[in-house]
Structures are given as structure tokens and as C-alpha cells.
Amino acid sequence: MEKILITGGAGYIGSHTAVALLEAGYQPIIIDDFSNSEKSALLGLKKITGQDIPCYEGDCNDAEIMDRIFTENKLSGVIHFAAFKAVGESSMLPLKYYTNNISSLLVLLATMNKHNVENLVFSSSCTVYGQPDKLPVKESTPRKKAESPYGNTKKICEDILVDQVNSKVALSAIALRYFNPIGAHTSSEIGELPLGVPSNLVPFVTQTGVGIRKELTVFGDDYDTPDGTCVRDYIHVMDLAEAHVKAISHLKGKEAPFYDIFNVGTGNGNTVMDVIKGFEKVSGKSLNYKVGPRRPGDVVKVWADTTKINQELNWKARFNLEEALRDSWNWQLALSKNNS
Ligand SMILES: NC(=O)c1ccc[n+]([C@@H]2O[C@H](COP(=O)([O-])OP(=O)(O)OC[C@H]3O[C@@H](n4cnc5c(N)ncnc54)[C@H](O)[C@@H]3O)[C@@H](O)[C@H]2O)c1
């Protein structure tokens, strides 16, 4: 089995990608420092796959452990998820974000180069587009000035990959620009584990649904959108995981140096009210929410043009918003049951 290193593999998207890789016949190897995840994710992985996925506990800024992993495993590729991702916190603690998100990529690239590992899939984000002038947004759409240090780390990391590839180093890289991942594995054994108050809409909705949060605030309902609330492209995390498998196999057919970018979304925009109504439908609960003022810095509407990934990676989202909300809700119920 070809081995693929997943940095941040105990996290939300990484853990689902580990399942998808195993199902596709790859052997995932995880490194995670558990700075934003829990070891229970590994137990969940074992329940789903029946296997102990090898996991190194460590920081991928640590060149020594990275070197050890590459020495102990003949890797055919890497998927680099490890990063901090809280947009709000990144404005308060920019150096924490610049240090972790950028230096981990630098250490990884140096280690890959040293061990002649060429294939890399990098977690980027639709935040690099800011508020696009035209929708849906294509990969060729110019990136905008980042709204946050977090968003800037994604732009800088993409630029580092381009520079590295242009230097003719043996690197084949794909940056996947994720839209808004939601949902959980249908088994409810793994899912998103937000530490503290969730900054993303869906975990806030499901936590409000079970009573952990009293009330959801909708930030503005007077935007130029169908119902006045912000529009996003919500992608099921299992579909997103699958896109990584497609990206890895695409890279295998490419000769280094190579770099490409793909949007990963459904191609549909949904409003905050669509999410609330969808949640109420799948949960049978009425959600306690109020409308508050607009939140500074919020992008009003963004959704993906997915033509490129549909055609070139032969990937398409399979789950719709309701199915994703159903899986988020079942995951929340499973979490609450385990914690009670
Ligand atoms: N979830 C989203 O909404 C979203 C959207 C766009 C892009 N992304 C990007 O996707 C990637 C994965 O996101 P996620 O939602 O799974 O986040 P997550 O926080 O659930 O997972 C990241 C994992 O990386 C680990 N980690 C962080 N720094 C590390 C380090 N230096 N060494 C080892 N492990 C480290 C954390 O413990 C965590 O398990 C991130 O790069 C994120 O920026 C996420």
C-alpha cells in the first residue's frame, strides 16, 4: 500500500480524509500535536476502519520528528492540513498563525525535498478570494487582500508553493481551496470538534440545538442576497475528503515540477437562513435564533465554480445541504450522549 502522510490528521478534515484514503487503498500515516483535536478521533477512526492508523504525536514545525517520519516510512505523498484556522483569533495573535501555518509548510517542503518525496496536497481556502467581484468564483479569479492574518497565511503558503515549483525543485503540488466544510462521517464516529465557542455557523447551530448555546445570532439580514443573510458554499466533509484522494492520484500522473489549484465546493450558494431551515427540518427542532447587526469583515456571498475540479479531477460533490446538516446533527447528538 502506498503511504500518504497526513499532517493534522486527527483534525476535522484530516480524519475524514484518512478514512477516504484507506477506502481507496492507501495507507495513511498521521502526524498531529493535538493542539486542536483530541485523541478520541483516533478511536473513532479505528471504529470506522477496523485499523489502528499509525499516528506520530508531534509538531510538524519540528524538523527532527518530520525527518524521522520520512526515514521510517517510504511516503508517496503528503497532505498538509496542520495549521491554526480560527479567523478571529488570528487577528489577536497574528504571530501564532504566521509561525505555525507558514513555518510548518517550510519544514515540510525541506523534508520532502531531502527525502525525494514529490507529491503534496495543500489545504487552502476560499478566503483567498475575499469578496469576489463575479460569482461563482473560478480558480483564475484574482485573489484579494486577505481580511485576516489567517487568510494571509493561506495566500503566503500558496505563493511559497508557486516559488518552490518555479525554482524547478522536484515538487508536484495541488492547492485545494475549500469552501465551507460541514457535516461528519455518517457513522457519527468522527466529526468537527470545536474547542470553546465555535466560530463556524453549523457547529454553533447544532450546539444551540442541543442546548449548549442559548441562542444563535444571525449577523445581518439586510444584505443583497435572496433572504438578506450571507451566502456560502457548504461542502460535506466526506466529499471534501474524497477530493483529496482524487488530488493525490492526479499528482501521481504528473511530472514534477507541477502546481495547480482547484476549488472544492458544491457550486451552490446557501444563505444562513437556508442552513437554519435545513437544520430545523432534519432535527425536527425549532432553533432559537435572533437577527443581530452585520459583523465587520464578513464576506457577503461566495460560492464556487467547480467546473475545473469536475472535469480535471473527475470529482463532484455527492451530498446536498440537508444531508450534510443531518450528519452534523447526528454527530452533535453522539457527542452530547458521550459527554453526558
Ligand atoms: N474547516 C474549515 O472551515 C476550513 C476551511 C478552509 C481551509 N481549512 C484548512 O484545512 C486544514 C484543516 O482544517 P480542519 O478544519 O481540519 O482543522 P482542525 O483544527 O480540525 O485540524 C487541524 C489539525 O492540525 C493539528 N495541528 C495544528 N498545528 C499543528 C502542528 N504544528 N503540528 C501538528 N499538528 C498540528 C491540530 O491539532 C488539528 O488536529 C487547515 O489547514 C485549515 O486552515 C479549513
Q: Which three cell numbers stand for residue 274?
A: 437556508
Q: Whose alpha carbon is nearest atom 6 of ligand 1?
A: 125
Q: What is the distance in A from the centroid of ligand 1 to the CA of 58? A: 14
pLDDT of the chain, 340 residues: tens digit per residue: 999 999 999 999 999 999 999 999 999 999 999 999 999 999 999 999 999 999 999 999 999 999 999 999 999 999 999 999 998 899 999 999 999 999 999 999 999 999 999 999 999 999 999 999 999 999 999 999 998 999 999 999 999 999 999 999 999 999 999 999 999 999 999 999 988 889 899 999 999 999 999 999 999 999 999 999 999 999 999 999 999 999 999 999 999 999 999 999 999 999 999 999 999 999 999 999 999 999 888 899 999 999 999 999 999 999 999 999 999 999 999 998 887 7
Q: Whose alpha carbon is nearest atom 30 of ligand 1?
A: 59
Annotate 159-203 with DSSP letters as a single string.
HHHHHHHHTT-S-EEEEEEE-EEE---TTSSS-----SS--SHHH
- C-beta of 233 in contact with ligand 1 (< 6 A): no
- C-beta of 60 in contact with ligand 1 (< 6 A): yes
Q: What is the three-class DSSP state of 286?
A: coil
Give residue 297's pLDDT.
82
Q: How many residues does the chain have?
A: 340
The tally of CA atoms less than 13 A away on the side-chain side of residue 60 is 34
Long-range contacts of 97-100 (CB under 8 A, 24+ apart): 97/149, 97/150, 97/153, 98/149, 98/152, 98/153, 98/156, 99/61, 100/61
Q: What is the three-class DSSP state of 221?
A: coil
What lies within 8 Å, CB to CB, of 1 at 6+ separation is 25, 26, 27
Q: What is the sign, positive or negative, of the torsion defined by CA atoms of 204, 185, 84, 248? A: negative
Give residue 339's pLDDT.
79
- C-beta of 36 in contact with ligand 1 (< 6 A): yes
Query: Could you say which DSSP state residue 263 is in?
Result: E
Q: What is the distance in A from the centroid of ligand 1 to the CA of 80? A: 9
Q: Whose alpha carbon is nearest atom 25 of ligand 1?
A: 8
Give residue 296's pLDDT.
84
Q: Which three cell numbers stand for residue 337?
A: 450522549
Q: What is the distance in A from the centroid of ligand 1 to the CA of 284? A: 31
pTM tops 0.95: yes
Multiple choice CATH, 3-183+234-264, 3.40.605.10, 3.10.20.90, 3.40.50.720, 2.170.190.11: 3.40.50.720
Q: Closest ligand 1 atom, CA of 192? A: 20
What lies within 8 Å, CB to CB, of 117 at 6+ separation is 70, 75, 76, 77, 78, 111
Give residue 90's pLDDT.
93
Q: What's the CA gap between 265 and 257, in Å, rounded? A: 26
Give residue 340's pLDDT.
74
228: left (phi over 0), alpha (psi -120 to 50) or beta: left
Does residue 150 carry a catalytic annotation? yes
How do beta strands 180-182 and 234-236 pair?
parallel
Based on the number of CB atoms within 10 Å of its own CB, is 338 exposed (0-12), middle (13-18) or buried (19 or more)? exposed
Give residue 144's pLDDT.
94
Q: Which of 35, 89, 96, 97 is the best mutation target for the ligand 1 pocket, counting ligand atoms within 8 Å of the beta carbon and taking the most?
A: 35
Q: What is the distance in A from the centroid of ligand 1 to the CA of 37? A: 9
- C-beta of 181 in contact with ligand 1 (< 6 A): yes
- C-beta of 14 in contact with ligand 1 (< 6 A): yes
- C-beta of 97 in contact with ligand 1 (< 6 A): no
Q: What is the distance in A from the centroid of ligand 1 to the CA of 323? A: 23
Q: What is the distance in A from the centroid of ligand 1 to the CA of 85? A: 6
Catalytic residue from among 97, 150, 223, 259: 150
